[in-house]
Chains A and B, each alone.
Chain A
């Protein structure tokens, strides 16, 4: 099981998103969606076993976030951002379209909880699969993962700031 590590999300807060949020336009991200912007946005999403990968370019201040439910598109059905491999690729493509530079990108990752106590000893629960797909893809793209809050037993509410990559997490 993955726990928040010695590389904690230093901006994890217990009460409300970080200061400056009122200057950012608000957006809400549903499962299977992704959001990118060259303007400052505070994007909220709620994660159980799902994972959100947040990417931002600190030079251009372009950033985005996805929210995927399943690890890998296997060819059955529609190749949508509900799947981690599609969601991360689409996020990278859309950030590039806005003008971000891949070599500048930094990443944070959230979610992937095992929400059922009886199965928390399993290593292959859906949340863990989602976490591993995200890690592998970020590594293959050489994008540093500079923060994460993943695994555990509880859902999370995440607010991600697209311009500077700061994130606020509330355990539910």
Chain B
């Protein structure tokens, strides 16, 4: 397969307009502007392009939800990329910022949007600087501004830098943050497509999703849909990290066996080690084991396996690490990043964090694993956004899939801490 997004990605100067144009850049914007808006939207719908940011919602359908009419509408590119294990948007923005800008311009044209924002996480200073320069070039060249390419379609694009909060990747948290507030998620409905930024209809898509749009236009929607598998069309950037020999971003055709990514591309664990568990789609996805390595890597197969493709971030953990260690990091992350707005997430993540700490300090009993699992089920489905679930699901999956190992770790921790053995202390959860 020939890469689409990562084609020429390391070409020196690709981040500049001159090189990007030499590589055929912005031709697709010209092509799109020559088509009726509806036709462009139709191509996107035909492509079956599903969101690359986490939820995998078809982009064409989302853009189709935007009400027609004259009200101000907005596009927001989600470049907050904070899901642990995910770093694809970073490389894309750093090396090919104009591809993103072109995708944004086409999407805005298709959805009759005249004001767009890129919300980039504040930590991405380099990428933000590069994008800012690219935006300035695009304005100067007439790809952005009052009438892009003399089409009469105005488009203004503003880069907005965040300041460090994972929840601002959640689309409604992002909107509040972009409005200058704390990045707390909003109740849905209303969905952003109906009432989003400044209460106007708002299309929110991930960097990679938008950067794919020029390729959809180039190939044609139907043609694009031929790549990949049914209901998971196209290519996907996969960030592979953890215990592998060649960590990094890989562009793959959706539907290839996971083993091919983890072992074929990323080289698998260091010699002599074995995969113990892996996250197929960022730290929010329920974990898989070495038995799942042959699953096809696409949205539906992952869903069928009880997990999700998410952002396409594969984190591999080999057998030199304990499950408890991984769980502890996951839990600490979500407890730190919970925005605190809703009760089950705020208290659930923080309670879980304390529980895991108790396990680690040798003060727990194996029965506490039941409590841990039960608290996770109490979180799932009850929160305002899905950050709570994003901790509860992987943690729940670890308890379910690695119970014997976790029990052994509970015991081992007790031993380390010198806590009296259960036989003498009398097992059980203290009742208060």
Partners in one complex: no
Which A residues are closer than 8 A to B by beta carbons? none
B→A interface (CB under 8 Å): none
